[in-house]
Every structure is written in structure tokens, then in C-alpha cells.
Amino acid sequence: MYRHGVGGYPTERPVLMHTWNTFTVHLRQRFGQRVQKIPLDAGASCPNRDGTLSRAGCTFCNAIGSGSGLGLAGMNLPAQWEHWREHFRKSNRASLFLAYLQSFSNTYGPASRLAAMLEIFRTLPDLAGVSVGTRPDCLDPEKMAILGTAPWKEKWLELGVQTLNDATLRRINRGHDAAASAKAIELAEKTNVQVCAHLMLGLPGETPDDVHATVRRLNALPVHGVKLHNVYVCRNTALERAYRAGEYVPLTEDAYVELAVDALTELRPDIIIHRVVADPAPGELVAPDWATRKGDLVRFIQHAYHRRCGGA
């Protein structure tokens, strides 16, 4: 592993500048100051959980969804906002924030639900913009028009693309095909909303060539941002059952770093990189252990990127 110096990577912590087009820098350039993202749980559902498509969910998906879990605890959106706003004002000295509807599929259901949530956001103090997480098959022109006409300067659609390989999408019980992702991205282009495509590296059965093919297809679509996720095994998922049966082996740390750098160097340089590693919630991780070392992993990716590009 890199921390032990394998593959030419240093064991000491390297001091590196940003190398790719980062979301943090993008927001600072737009607003002239740090903008902190606040995760919000609006109690959304998912067609892959409620029986519309399936009740099993995607093979990798935690049944309680990603995010803080504050919504499940009964805290409404303004209360969640105030909780995190005060936290980040103290910890990061932030004074401007981006509301991120993170858990499950936040455009699922009637368009009026999305409109109501955005109306609530109008009351939130220090709000710079919104970011809405969803699936490609939970969008339509009416919903995109609602998001597109929202008043904030910064508006993002965080789209769970995961991969543009149809065989992999079937394997992970995703419930939609690659064409659905392309259609959603092209729909968003017609509105004043930027698209951040989420890509998962290390999905069951996927090869590096499959990942490269997805990146090439994304480059040809009107995406503005990409978020990279290392696949890790969550408790109480189909992927955990496959892992314990020896049917799924997560990527090694070395393999993920190299694959992430492949993606970073192949993506169009104008694409904003929102994140390069996933961040398991406390208590949900089964494997691999290296997924908990987010800070180290980011530094290893930075160093590998520098080395690949001739900068180190």
C-alpha cells in the first residue's frame, strides 16, 4: 500500500497544490469566499426500494440511504440546516452554504414535492445555491423547469450515473440503462442547471476498460462536474452477501488510486471534480479497510496524478 512506499509513492506526506479542476476552487471563484456544502435529508424514497422497480435496491446501497440520517431522526429541513450551519460556522468559519439534498432520490414523486422543498430553501439564511441528488429515471421536463427557474446563482443536479455500461447496470440491479443517464443529462442542459455525474469505480464485474469507456462517453455529454466513488461494501446489502460468499472482491487501494487517476486525466479539463473518494458513514463499512482513510487516499491520488502528468 502507498503509505508503506510501494510503487514509488513516498511514506511521508507530500505537499501538493491542486492539480485538477476542483469544486472548492470553483465555488471560491464564483462567490469570492469559501462555500460549505450542507447535507440534507428530506425523507425521499427510491423506485428501486418502494417496489416500483424493485424492493431490493441497488446491490451496493445502504438501506437507510446516504447522508446524515437527521431526517430519519425527525429533524425537518430548516432544523437540519441550522444544525449544520452552526457546526460549520464554528469548525470551518464558513458564512455561505450550499444546500445538498443527498439521501435517496430527491426528484422522485410528484413535481410539487420538489417545488415545496425549494420553497423551504428560500427561508434558509446564508444560502448560496442548491444541489439535488437523484437517479436518472426520476426526472422529467416539469421537474427540471422547477429547478432551472429557482432563484439561486449556483444550481446542481447530482446524478447517480454510476456507470454507462448496461451489463454492469443490470448486474448491480440499478433499474435503468445507460440511455436513461444520457437522456437526463441532455434534459438538464436545456435548463440553467449544472450536472454532476457520480461514477463508481470498482463495481462488480467492471474492468478498467469499462471505466475508460464510461469516461469517454461522459466526455461527449454536456456534464459540468464529476464525483468519483470508490466502491466499498456496506452492511446489510446484497454486495455484502456477495463479498462474504467470495463472489465480490473490492479494489485494492493501489488499484483504486490508479483507476481514479486514469479518470481524472481522461475527463475533459473543463469538468469540475467534486470529489475523488467516497466517505463511509460510521458503522456501515464491511470492506475494504482502506476506505476509512480518506485523507491519505486523496493525497495518494494527488501524488499519482502529479507523477502521471510529469509534475513530480
Is residue 62 pLDDT above 70, yes or no? yes
61 burial (CB, 10 Å; 0-12 / 13-18 / 19+) is: buried
Q: Where are the domains of the chain?
A: 23-310
> Which of 210, 138, 209, 140 has its CA nearest to residue 172?
210
Model pLDDT for residues 212-223, shown as the tens digit of each residue: 999 999 999 999
Compare 140 and 75 and report the one with higher pLDDT: 140
Please state the rounded mean pLDDT for residues 190-194. 92
Predicted local confidence at residue 64, as pLDDT: 63
Question: Looking only at Cα atoms, what is the longest distance across the chain?
Answer: 55
- What is the band of 11 on the pLDDT scale with cuts at 50, 70, 90? very low
Percent of the chain with pLDDT over 90: 84
pTM, rounded to two decimals: 0.91
Predicted local confidence at residue 19, as pLDDT: 78
Domain 23-310, what architecture? Alpha-Beta Barrel (3.20)
Q: Cell numbers of 94, please?
A: 464558513
